[in-house]
Structure 1
Amino acid sequence: MLPRRFVKIRFLAIVLLAVLAVLYYLHHDNETLHSYINSGGKPAFTPKATTAPFGDSDLKYKFSQLTNYENTMENKHKLIIANPDIDATGSRLRAGQEFFSDYFTLLADAAPNCEPLRTYKSDDRIYQPGYDAQAKDGRQLTEEYLNEFLQVDDESLEVLRLAHEKVVRSLPNKAPAGLYKGNGYVYVGGGKFNWLALLSIKNLRSTGAQLPIEVVIPTLEEYEVEFCGKVLPAMNARCVLLPRALGTKISEEFEFKGYQYKSLALLVSSFENVLLLDADNLPMHNPDAFFETKPFTNHGLVSWPDFWKRTTLPKFYDIAGVKVDKTKRVRFGFNVFGKYPDYMEKVISGEVEEDVPLHDYEGAIPNPSSESGQVMISKNSHMKELFLALYYNLYGPSHYYPLFSQGVSGEGDKETFVAASVVLKNKYYQVSTFLRALGYFDSDHNYVGTGMGQYDPIEDYHIYNMRVNNKLPEYKPVFSPIHGRPITKPRFMFIHANFPKFNPWSLFTEKKVINEKGERVRLYGDGIFGEDQAGFDVELTQYKNMRFLLCEMNVKLEVFKDVEKMELCDEISAQIKYYEENTF
C-alpha cells in the first residue's frame, strides 16, 4: 500500500490535470495550446532563424562582387541561355517545354468557337455592393438579378459548355517528375514592373524571408541585363524569360498580355509550392512560415478577399457543370462572424425574409470575390486547378472574365483560381478577415483610396477555427501561432499598393505625394503603424529602400532612363525628410 503522502500527491496531480484539461477545451484549440504550454509561452510555430545576409551592407558587398553588364542584346542572350544551377543540363527546361506544349495543344483545340461575350441587355450595369455593406434598398444579387446584364444565347452556351467539358476531361493530374521542386516566391516583372518587383523583393528580404525568388519576364524586350544579371542574383532571385520557358511553338502560336501572365508565371516557375505576389505588393512580415503551416498545408490553395460581392453570371455554372443547390442556403452575409449579427440571426431564424443571393447557396462560388495581389498554390495538390485557371485566363478577355464579373470593377484573373477549385471540387482557403481600404483625406476632406491591406492567413485560420469551431466570443483573445501573444485579429501582412504605385518619379511628377497647395502628403495617412498593423512607418521605409537601391547602389533600370539621377535622388530625399518630420 502506498504511503498517504504519495496518495495525496497523486490526487493533487489528477486534479491539476483535470483543471488543465478543462481550460484547454474552454479556451484554446488543441494544436496551439499544446505547443504554447509545452514551450513555456513560446510561439507554436517558430520560423527558422534568419541566416541569409540580405541587410543593406551585405547587399552592397554582393553588388560589388558581381559582374557589371551593359544592357546589350549580346549580353541578354548570354544570360538567357545560361542554365541556372537548379537545371545545369537544361533537362528541366526541355521537360517543361514538352509538357506545356501538350497542354497548349489542348487549349487551342478547346477554344470557345463563339463570338466574344460583349452583349448586355442594356447600358445598365450591376449595382456592385461592397461585401461589408448591407443590400441597398433591400436589393440582393439573386439569380434573377444577375441574369439581367450579360446575355449569352443558347448556341453560345452550348459551345462554351462542350469546350469546357473537353478541357476538364483532359486536365493533367501531375507534372513530370522533377519539373517542380521546393518552395518560393514568384513575381511577374517586365517594363515598369521590374522596378516595382525589385522594391517588393527588397521589402521581402528585409522581413527575413530566405526562400528563393523568381521574376517572370514576359518578353525579350523587357528583359533587363543589370536587373537579371546582377541585382536579382544578389538577393537570391533570378529572372525567368517566359518565351524561353514555354518554348518556341507556344510563343509563336499564342499571344499573351495583361492578367494572363500570372497563371503563366505560376506554370513556368520552378517551385512546387508558390506564393505569387503582384509586383506592387509590399510584404510587411516574413511569409516563409506560410509554406509549412495551416491553412496552406491542409488546403493547397490560399486566396485573399476583394472588396466586392460576387457578380458571376448564373450561366457559368451551367457551362462548368456545377450544381448549385437552390434549396440550401449555407451563407448569411458579411464574413463568418457577422458584421450585422442581430439582423443575420433574424434572417437565419426566418423571422426576417429576404431574397437569397445566388452565391449564398451551396455549390456556388462563395462571397466575397477574390483579390489576386497575392495567391498561394501547391502544384502537387492543385495541378488540375492551375491548368483550368490558365484556360480561364487564356480565354478570359473574350469569354471568362465577363462570365465571372460581368464588367464590374477589377474584372480580370482574380476569380479564376478559386473558380477552378470550386468547379473541380478541390479544397481552398480564402482568408476570412476582410481586407482594409488604405488611403488619406485630402485638404478638402475627401477620402483618397491608395491601396489594400491584407492579413496573415496563419493567424486568420487560427482565429477562424477558434471562433467558429470552438464558439469562442470575438472579444476573447487567442494565442497567436506566430509569436505567442494574445490577439483578437490577424496581423497586417501585405499592402497591395496598386494605386498609385511606388515609383518615386511618377509620384512626384503626377503630384500624388504633393497636394494642390504644394504640401507633401502621406499616401496611407496615420492608421497602419500600430503593433496590430504594419508596426512601422511603411512609406518612410519604401523611400529609404528607394534611396538605397537607386541612389546608393546606383541600380539602373529602363523605367528611369530618362530621369536625371540627381533630380530623382533629391526628390526621394525630400520625401524622406517630410516623413521623418511628420512621423507618428
Structure 2
Amino acid sequence: MVNNFLYNLKLFRRRRKQQLIILSIIFIYLIFIVYRQGGDDASTSSIIDESGFKPSWWDSIVSSVKKPVKFSDIIAGNSPDNSRKDSSIEDQEATKEHEAKDDYNKQHPSEAVRLKRGYTFFNSILQVLYNGRPEVKKLDRYRTDDRIYHARYDSSAKDEQVFSEEYLSSFLQLTTQELADMKKSHQYVVDNLPGKAPNQLYHGNGIVYVGGGQFNWLTLLSIKTLRSIGCTLPIEVFIPKVDEFELELCGKVLPTMNARCIYMRNHLVSPLDKTGNNYASKFNFKGYQYKAMAILLSSFENVLLLDSDNIPVHVPDNLFTEEPFTSKGLIVWPDFWKRATSPHYYEIVGSEISETELLPKYDESIGFYRSRPQEITGANLNDIPLHERKGAIPDPSSESGQLMISKRTHFKPLLLALYYNLYGPTHFYPLFSQGSDGEGDKETFLAATVTLRHPYYQVSKFLNALGHFQNGDFVGCGMGQYDPVEDYYTGELRKELSKITDQKVLATVKEKNNRFLTSGPRMLFVHANFPKLNPWKLRIERKIYNSNGERIRLYGTGMKRITGYDFEWVQWNNMKQLLCVNNFKLEAFKDVNKEDLCREITQQLNYLKDTIKDLES
C-alpha cells in the first residue's frame, strides 16, 4: 500500500510538472502575441510600413529588453535610446555617429504631438482640394497643331513676335462653359482654404529637399557641401514613397549631419486610422506635386526649398533674417524664358489685367527692374507683352531649383500652389505654359502669390549658363543663381543713386559700392541639372571626357573666378569622402563595384588638382 501511495504521488508530481510546463509555454506564447500586436497607443509617431509597429503595455514591464528598431523612430528623427552604450560597438566612428544622432534628437523632440495635430488639419486641406477638383476634361484643345515657341527673355531684342494678350490667346482654347466651370472650382478652393496653420505646427528656419530614388545621392552630395562650407541650418529630406526610403541614409548618415528624412504618408495619415477614409488616398501624388507637399509637411515655418541637384556655393543661413525675405515672404529666381501664361488663366482666377498701367521693365543685362511711366495712353495693346501689364504675373518665367517661402505669411498661396500642382498636368500646366517646353511646378508658386495679392521678390540678377566649350561649341551643364540679399541691396542702391544730385556724394557712394555696381551680387546656387553629379554615370556616359577621350572640367575654367574657390574639385572631393572614405552604402551605386567607383573618383580628382593652374582667378 505504501508503495502504491508513493508511486501515485510520484506520478502526480510528474503530471503536475508537465502541466506547469505546458501552461508556461502557453503563457509565454500569449505574452509574445500581445507584445507583437500591441494595444492602443496614444503615440502618433510616424511609421514606414503599412501595418505599423505599435508598443504594447508589455513594453513598460520588459523595458529593459531590446526591442526591434522602429522605422517610425528613424523617420521622425527619434533613434533608439542612445544613452546606453552598446558594448559590442568598438568602432570609434560608429560611436561618434550614435552620439551625433543623440545630439540631434535632443535638439528635435518627438514629433508625436505635432504629427497628431497635422493629421486632421492636412486631411481638411486635401478635402477642400479634392472637392474643388476641376469638373472639366483635360485641357488639351489648341487652335492649331502649332505650339508657342520657347522664346528666351531678351529685353533688348526687337521681337518679331510680341507675347501680347492676343497672341497668347491663340493657342490653348477653352469654351465658355469650361471657363465657367474652372472659375467655379477655383473660387471654391480660394474661399475654403485656411489662411494660416495651427499654432506650433511649424517652427524655425530650415532647408528642404525632395529625395527618393536617384535623388537620394544627389541630395546627400548637396547636404555634404552645405556642411563643408559652414551651413548650420537644420535639413529635412522629403521621401515620397516607401520603396525609396534608404535605411542607411535616413537612419545613419543624415542624423550625423543635422538632417533627417520625412516620409510623406506618415505625415498625412495617422497610423491609428484603420478606416482608410482619408483624402490623401484619393490623390496619386507624383512628380512636380512633391515640392509643394514637401514644403507643406516639413516642420519648418520658413523654408529654403532646394532641388536635389542644386548645390549652394556659399552659406545661405542669413537669407532668412535679412531683406528681402523678412518683408516679402516669398523669393523666386528667374528662368531663361518669356512667360507664356494663357489669358484664360486670369479669367479663371478673376484677375484684372490693366489696359492703362505697366509693370516695371525687366532689364536682364544689368539685373534690374527699371521704373517707367506707368500710364499707357493711346497705345496698341498688341504691341505690349501681356506680362508687362499691371495685374499679370511679371516676366521672366521662374526657375524652381530654389525657392524661399514663409508659411506664416504665405500659407494660403502655398496651398493654392499645391492645388495648381495636384491638377497641373491636366489643367493648370497647360494654362501656364501652353504646351511649351519646361512646363511644371515652376510657375505655380508665383502665380498663386500674385493671384492672392501677397508680396513677393523676384531676384533681378539674371541666371548664368554654366558649362564648357567643346570643339568651339558651348556645352551647358548647369545654371548659376544669385544671392537675393545682395541682389536686393544692389537694387536699393541703384534707386538711391538716382536720387543723389551732389556729384561728390554720388562719386563717394559709387566708390564704396563698386563691387555691387560693377559685378552685382555673388553667385549663391549651382543648379547642376544636366548632367547630374553621379560619378559613375558621368563616366559611363562619357560626360567628363572630350571627343579624344581626355578628361575635362564640366564647368570650364571660370568657376573659381565666379564662386571664389574650385567648386568642381570640392564636389569630387565630397564624393570621395562620402563613398570611399565613409563608405556609405546607397542605392544609386548598389550595382557598381566600389573599387572601380573609387578609382574613377580618384582619377578625376587628380585631374582637377593638376589643372588648378589653368583656372581663371
In structure 2, give the amino acid aligned to 1:394. Answer: L
What does 1:130-529 correspond to in 2, within 5 Å?
Answer: 130-132=152-154, 134-135=156-157, 137-247=159-269, 249-335=278-364, 355-442=383-470, 444-471=471-498, 477=510, 488-529=519-560
- Paired residues of 1:479 and 1:487 also in contact (CA < 8 A): no
Q: Structure 1 pair 76/563, CA: closer, same or farther in 2 (3 Å)?
A: farther
- 1:288-327 deviation line (CA, Å, top 9, x unaligned): 0011000000101111111111000011001011111022
Larger radius of gyration: 2
Partner SS state of residue 404, structure 1: helix
User: Which residue does 1:111 correspond to in 2?
Assistant: 133
- Paired residues of 2:295 and 2:305 also in contact (CA < 8 A): yes
Residue 136 of structure 1 and its aligned partner are, at CA, apart by 5.7
In structure 1, give the amino acid aligned to 2:138. Answer: P
Q: Distance in 2 between matches of 1:228 and 1:395?
A: 31
1:79 aligns with 2:101: no
Q: Distance in 2 between matches of 1:348 and 1:155?
A: 33
- 1:499-544 deviation line (CA, Å, top 9, x unaligned): 11000000110111112211111111122211xx211111111100
Q: Structure 1 pair 479/562, CA: closer, same or farther in 2 (3 Å)?
A: farther
Partner SS state of residue 165, structure 1: helix
User: Which residue does 1:68 correspond to in 2?
Assistant: none
User: Which residue does 1:576 correspond to in 2?
Assistant: 605
Q: Structure 1 pair 133/89, CA: closer, same or farther in 2 (3 Å)?
A: closer
Partner SS state of residue 418, structure 1: helix
- Paired residues of 2:324 and 2:485 also in contact (CA < 8 A): yes
Q: Structure 1 pair 296/77, CA: closer, same or farther in 2 (3 Å)?
A: closer
Q: Structure 1 pair 148/504, CA: closer, same or farther in 2 (3 Å)?
A: same
Partner SS state of residue 399, structure 2: strand
* 1:101 aligned residue (120, 123, 136): 123
- Paired residues of 1:215 and 1:237 also in contact (CA < 8 A): yes
Which fold has the larger relative contact order, with Cα–Cα distance below 8 Å and residues 6 or more apart in sequence? 1
User: Which residue does 1:556 correspond to in 2?
Assistant: 585
User: Which residue does 2:564 correspond to in 1?
Assistant: 535
Moved more, 285-294 or 405-414: 405-414
Q: Distance in 1 between matches of 2:221 and 2:553?
A: 18
Q: Distance in 2 between matches of 1:497 and 1:266?
A: 22
User: Which residue does 1:16 correspond to in 2?
Assistant: none
Residue 551 of structure 1 and its aligned partner are, at CA, apart by 0.3
- Paired residues of 2:353 and 2:390 also in contact (CA < 8 A): yes
Q: Distance in 1 between matches of 2:560 and 2:112?
A: 47
Moved more, 472-481 or 77-86: 472-481
Consecutive unaligned residues in structure 1, runs of 5 or more = 1-72
Residue 145 of structure 1 and its aligned partner are, at CA, apart by 0.8
Q: Distance in 2 between matches of 1:367 and 1:81?
A: 40
Q: Distance in 1 between matches of 2:499 and 2:518?
A: 13
Q: Distance in 1 between matches of 2:235 and 2:494?
A: 35
- Paired residues of 1:505 and 1:568 also in contact (CA < 8 A): yes
In structure 1, give the amino acid aligned to 2:552. Answer: V
Partner SS state of residue 327, structure 1: coil
Structure 2 length-normalised TM: 0.77
In structure 2, give the amino acid aligned to 1:404. Answer: F
Q: Distance in 2 between matches of 1:568 and 1:449?
A: 25
User: Which residue does 1:38 correspond to in 2?
Assistant: none
Q: Distance in 2 between matches of 1:228 and 1:428?
A: 34
The CA RMSD over aligned residues, in Å, is 2.8
Q: Distance in 1 between matches of 2:605 and 2:198?
A: 50
Partner SS state of residue 88, structure 1: coil
User: Which residue does 2:275 correspond to in 1?
Assistant: none
Residue 409 of structure 1 and its aligned partner are, at CA, apart by 2.4
Q: Distance in 2 between matches of 1:280 and 1:306?
A: 16
Structure 1 length-normalised TM: 0.81
- 1:18-40 deviation line (CA, Å, top 9, x unaligned): xxxxxxxxxxxxxxxxxxxxxxx
- Paired residues of 1:479 and 1:485 also in contact (CA < 8 A): no
Moved more, 521-530 or 495-504: 521-530
- Paired residues of 2:76 and 2:111 also in contact (CA < 8 A): no
Q: Distance in 1 between matches of 2:558 and 2:378?
A: 40
Consecutive unaligned residues in structure 2, runs of 5 or more = 1-67, 79-104, 271-277, 501-505
Partner SS state of residue 376, structure 1: strand
Q: Structure 1 pair 82/446, CA: closer, same or farther in 2 (3 Å)?
A: closer
Residue identity (%): 51
- Paired residues of 2:76 and 2:110 also in contact (CA < 8 A): no
Q: Structure 1 pair 527/133, CA: closer, same or farther in 2 (3 Å)?
A: farther
Q: Distance in 2 between matches of 1:292 and 1:340?
A: 24
In structure 2, give the amino acid aligned to 1:375. Answer: L
Partner SS state of residue 119, structure 2: helix
- 1:473-515 deviation line (CA, Å, top 9, x unaligned): 999757679xx99864100100000111000000110111112
- Paired residues of 1:463 and 1:478 also in contact (CA < 8 A): no
In structure 1, give the amino acid aligned to 2:604. Answer: Q
Q: Distance in 2 between matches of 1:477 and 1:528?
A: 27
In structure 2, give the amino acid aligned to 1:360. Answer: E
Q: Distance in 1 between matches of 2:336 and 2:193?
A: 32
- 1:365-399 deviation line (CA, Å, top 9, x unaligned): 00011111110111000011110111111111111
- Paired residues of 1:76 and 1:223 also in contact (CA < 8 A): no
- Paired residues of 1:273 and 1:377 also in contact (CA < 8 A): yes
Partner SS state of residue 526, structure 2: strand
- 1:53-111 deviation line (CA, Å, top 9, x unaligned): xxxxxxxxxxxxxxxxxxxx976455246756535260100111111000100111000
Residue 252 of structure 1 and its aligned partner are, at CA, apart by 2.3
In structure 2, give the amino acid aligned to 1:578. Answer: Y
Q: Distance in 1 between matches of 2:185 and 2:539?
A: 49
Q: Distance in 1 between matches of 2:76 and 2:463?
A: 42
In structure 2, give the amino acid aligned to 1:558. Answer: E
Partner SS state of residue 151, structure 2: coil
Residue 253 of structure 1 and its aligned partner are, at CA, apart by 2.1
